Amino acid sequence: MRFIYTKTFAIFAGCLVAVCLLAVMQVKGWLDPITEIFIQSPRPVEFAARAVARPVQGFFSTIFELRKIDSENTRLEQEVYSLQQQLVGYDQLRRENDALRKELGFVNTSPFALAPCTVLSENSFGVTDAFVLNCGGSQGVAVGQAVISEGYVVGKIIYAGKNSSTALLATSSKFVADAELSKTGADAIVTGSFGSGLILDHLSQNDDIEKGWLVTTAGINSQIPKGLLLGQVGDVISSPNDLFKKATVVSPVDFNNLDFVFVAKP
Amino acid sequence: MCVFPIISPFLFYIVVKYLIYLLSIIFLCGLNVGLAPYLRIYGQVPNFLFLIAVIWSVDKTDDDFWFFALFAGLFMDFSAGAWVGTFAIPLLLVCLAIRLLVQNYLVLELSLKYLAIVLFPAQLLFYFGSVGYAFVFYKLGLAAYPPSASGWLGSWVAGFLYNAALLYPMYIAAGYLKTFLGKYVVREYKVR
Q: Does B83 touch chain A (CB under 8 A)?
A: yes
CATH number at residue A203: 2.40.10.340
Beta strands A130-133 and A165-169, pairing class:
antiparallel
Residues 6+ apart with CB under 8 A from B87: A125, B73, B76, B77, B80, B126, B130
Query: What tens digit of pLDDT does each residue of A174-217 get?
Result: 889 999 998 888 999 999 876 668 999 999 988 889 888 999 99
Query: What pLDDT score does A216 carry?
Result: 92
CA-closest candidate to residue B70, choices B82, B83, B55, B53: B53
Residues A251, A144 share a domain: yes
Query: What tens digit of pLDDT does each residue of B59-85 get?
Result: 888 889 999 999 999 999 999 888 899
Residue B3 has pLDDT above 60, yes or no: no
| Alpha-carbon distance B52 to nearest alpha carbon in chain A (angstroms) | 14
Radius of gyration of chain A (CA): 23
Query: What tens digit of pLDDT does each residue of B82-120 get?
Result: 889 999 999 999 999 998 888 888 766 667 777 878 888
Q: What is the rounded CA–CA span in Å between residue A127 and residue A135? A: 22
Q: What is the rounded CA–CA span in Å between residue B31 and residue A57? A: 16
Give the chain A residue nearest B95 (alpha carbons): A12
Q: Please, how many CA atoms are within 13 Å of residue A14, restricted to the half-sphere of its CB?
A: 10
CA-closest candidate to residue A231, choices A244, A243, A245, A248: A248
Residues B46, B62 contacting (CB under 8 angstroms): no
Residue A262 lies in a domain: yes
Structural domain span for residue A24: 3-30
Which of the four pLDDT bands, split at 50, 70 and 90, describes residue B192?
Answer: very low
Burial status of residue A28 (CB atoms within 10 A of its CB: 0-12, 13-18, 19 or more)? exposed
Please tell me the total number of residues recorded for chain A in this structure: 266
How many structural domains is chain A composed of? 2
Residue B136 has pLDDT above 70, yes or no: yes
Taking CB atoms and an 8 Å limit, are B70 and A15 in contact across chains? yes
- Selected for mutation to probe chain B from A125, A159, A254 (highest B CB count within 10 Å) is A125
Residues B73, B86 contacting (CB under 8 angstroms): no
Taking CB atoms and an 8 Å limit, are B34 and A47 in contact across chains? yes
CA-closest candidate to residue B162, choices A194, A125, A258: A125
Q: What is the mean pLDDT of the segment spanning A118-132?
A: 80
Query: What pLDDT score does B75 carry?
Result: 95
Side chain identity at residue B158, one-letter code: A
Q: What is the mean pLDDT of the segment spanning A127-132?
A: 80
- DSSP code at position A187: E
Q: What is the mean pLDDT of the segment spanning A6-35?
A: 91
Taking CB atoms and an 8 Å limit, are A49 and B35 in contact across chains? yes
Of A16, A23, A45, nearest to B83 by CB-CB distance is A23
Residues A13, A125 share a domain: no
Most confident of A5-19, A78-92, A95-109, B33-47: A5-19
Query: What pLDDT score does B104 carry?
Result: 84
Q: What is the mean pLDDT of the segment spanning A29-52?
A: 90
Residue A93 lies in a domain: no
CA-closest candidate to residue B40, choices A127, A108, A218: A127
Query: What pLDDT score does A154 carry?
Result: 93
> What is the ipTM for the molecules in this complex?
0.87
